[in-house]
Chain A
Amino acid sequence: MSAPVINQAPAEPTEPRGPQNRITLLSRSPQDTPAGWFNYIFLVVTLIIGFFPVWWMFIVSTGDDQMLAKIPPQITPGDNFWTNFNIVMGNIPDGTQSFESAKFGESFLYSSIVTVAITASTLFFCSLAGFAFAKLKFKGRDQLMVIVILTLTIPNQLGIVALYIIITRLGWQGQLTALIVPALVSAFGVFYMRQYIQDALPDEIVESARMDGANTFRIFWTMCLPVIRPALGVLGLLTAVGAWNEFQWALIALGPGTDNPTVGVALSKLASAQYPRPRITLAGSLLATIPLLILLAVAGKQIVRGVMEGALKH
């Protein structure tokens, strides 16, 4: 159905004609109304705009230093990608530029360590706590949950100076530990898992397992974990995206001169090299984006579901 149905009475021959028809068509909720061509055009434009910066990273990263000066702008790739790729990864020493000192290649390892550690631990600890809040009765449960919910809306800027002092006292300044440990759990994770477990795991199953003598952790491990796998996937994806993209805290905790930068910090160092070059910086930006694009291509539906469900539960 490509025509704008709503204003055309005889659009579908199967439907009765006349004013009656108009009402039938309008009485459909929007989601039952087939999209018109304008719908598709605007959506495609939206997608193009959303993807454009990534495309531009690609174009610039395949070019040479003169490329940006061209009029009209070049929108097809050049043939310098491997050169730029090797410079940004530190494989080709670039003489005066000293892009190697940004340690962009190594930063992928550091960001991966941080992302995997944060994601694994968030999933485990938040589903444990979420299970307890959803299915177990204990003193102070509701009060503790209120605290969790209240802190959800507190901006992270508020504690940032104190958090820095804490990690300095612990001797973690400049180390990946400073990025990992404070992010091992999240209030949102507990909240999300609690909501999901409440609906997904029937009370009767928990009760009957208890009658059979299973202890709490066993119930969690054998009854709860299998049914919450979709939620674990969603929370894991959202946590991983957030951990990979975190910049402000990484810059503060590691410091601009760090030896073990995350991808974001390394990128900002590329951009602040003494003679920054767009093609090198954007080659790095593209490489930093690719893992997430792959994630979106593979697990896009779960990420969409996570965003939409997470929102409804607030």
Chain B
Amino acid sequence: MSTAPKASAKTEARALGSTAPPRSPQHDESSRWQRFRGGFDAKFAPYLLISPFFILFAIFGIFPLVYNGVVSFRRWNLKRPADNGWAGFDNYTKLLSDGLFANALTNTFGIFLLSTIPQLLLALFVASLLNRRLRAQSIFRVGVLVPFITPIVASSLVFAYVFSKNYGLANTILGLFGVESTISGTTFNGIDWRGTWWASWIAIAVMVNWKWIGYNALLYLAAMQSIPKDVYEAAALDGATPWQQLWRITVPMIRPMVIFTVVLSTIGGLQLFTEPMLFGDTPDPNGGALRQWQTVSQLIYQTGWVNLNLGYAAAMSWALFLIIVVIAGFNAFLTSRIGEGGRKR
């Protein structure tokens, strides 16, 4: 403010140098400054722009992945802090003979199979319904996303009540059709959904299917709409019916998307947590009195945050990760083979 007008103009020229190069005796100096600044900008600006992301990402995204590995080789029990120390492979050897982990793994796979296969087939069906010239097209497309945006806690709680043994909607309806069960002398309508492994898996799988069919249908629809139209013309000359059209053209053409959804639902399905967690009469990581529906994620939660054994929980999450990688890879391979078979026919 107190500087002479000339100096002030010069500063201003520098400040504005980027947008309006001054035509003045100071032109030389100014353009050198500008070049310097331009060079500085070109060299360092990209790093400045990505640094907020990478700093946060490194601390809260990548570091935990590595650190989790370290924790898994330690005894780290919040109940017995004095006992903390290196454990070598102890946590992992314990895991191999842990009946609870085997049970959780079985439950996770059971629910996974019951939810993924119907989910993707029905999504394909809904996508082919959407892939037509439709009136009110956007209402249908937006409508199928209602389950996707419904909070998972809210929908799981509704389903938990729907599958109640007494007065649950599912059993009331089954009762109308005459389905009854008798357990220790008491007869009631429908099925005891929490009583057996199978029944609880089916009930939880229903929740998962309900939530993800519409979302996957939109993924398939996106892929279907990028199929070139002339492909269908060629098939028409062979006299393909709509059904053949779907299985011989559409499905093989969207194979990359099918593989993608298979991998995605493998990653999501094997980490299932909220639905089984809220399926009990009250929210419970045990997954039923006999752990009928305890998934691996629930067991990790129970081990780490109920029993406070963080080292063992970390080992479990690494084991789960390896299992997910193997299964996702296997499923991707399997899907690509099925797709190829379809194309050859």
Cα distance, A22 to B238, chains bound together (Å): 11
**Residues from chain B with Cβ under 8 Å of A264 in the complex:** 151-153
**Residues from chain A with Cβ under 8 Å of B321 in the complex:** 154-155, 157-158
Which stretch from B58-66, B92-100, B110-118 is at the chain A interface? Answer: B58-66
| B65, A312: Cβ atoms closer than 8 Å | no
Cα distance, A284 to B36, chains bound together (Å): 60
Query: A35-B132, A53-B150, A158-B68 are contacts. A308–B221 as well, Cβ < 8 Å?
Result: yes
Residue of B nearest to A25 (CB): B236
| B267, A155: Cβ atoms closer than 8 Å | yes
Query: A50-B210, A154-B65 are contacts. A32–B161 as well, Cβ < 8 Å?
Result: no
Q: Residue A69 at the B interface, CB < 8 A?
A: yes
Interface size bracket, B side: 35 or more
B287 to chain A, nearest CB (A): 15
Q: Residue A263 at the B interface, CB < 8 A?
A: yes
| B18, A214: Cβ atoms closer than 8 Å | yes
**Residues from chain B with Cβ under 8 Å of A159 in the complex:** 61, 64-65, 67-68, 317
**Residues from chain A with Cβ under 8 Å of B67 in the complex:** 159, 162, 165-166
Q: Does more than half of chain B's interface fall in helix, strand or loop, or is it mixed?
A: helix
A25 to chain B, nearest CB (A): 8
| B274, A247: Cβ atoms closer than 8 Å | yes
Q: Residue B86 at the A interface, CB < 8 A?
A: no
| A56, B162: Cβ atoms closer than 8 Å | yes
A270 to chain B, nearest CB (A): 8
Cα distance, A214 to B126, chains bound together (Å): 50
Query: A144-B54, A161-B317 are contacts. A303–B149 as well, Cβ < 8 Å?
Result: yes
**Residues from chain B with Cβ under 8 Å of A138 in the complex:** 43, 46-47
Q: Residue A108 at the B interface, CB < 8 A?
A: no
Q: Residue A30 at the B interface, CB < 8 A?
A: yes
Cα distance, A246 to B41, chains bound together (Å): 39
Residue of B nearest to A286 (CB): B154
| A295, B149: Cβ atoms closer than 8 Å | yes
Cα distance, A281 to B154, chains bound together (Å): 9
Chain B interface residues (CB < 8 Å from chain A): 17-21, 34, 37-38, 41-43, 45-50, 52-54, 56-57, 59-68, 70-71, 125-126, 128-135, 138, 140-155, 157-162, 164, 167-169, 172-173, 175-176, 210, 213-215, 218-219, 221-227, 229, 231-233, 235-237, 239-240, 242, 245, 250, 257, 260, 263, 267, 270-271, 273-274, 277-278, 281-283, 297, 300-301, 304-305, 310, 313-314, 317-318, 320-321, 324
18 pairs of residues in contact across A and B, judged by CB atoms under 8 Å: A34-B132, A46-B213, A57-B158, A72-B172, A129-B53, A137-B46, A144-B50, A147-B62, A158-B68, A159-B67, A162-B65, A164-B310, A185-B53, A210-B38, A212-B19, A276-B282, A293-B146, A303-B142
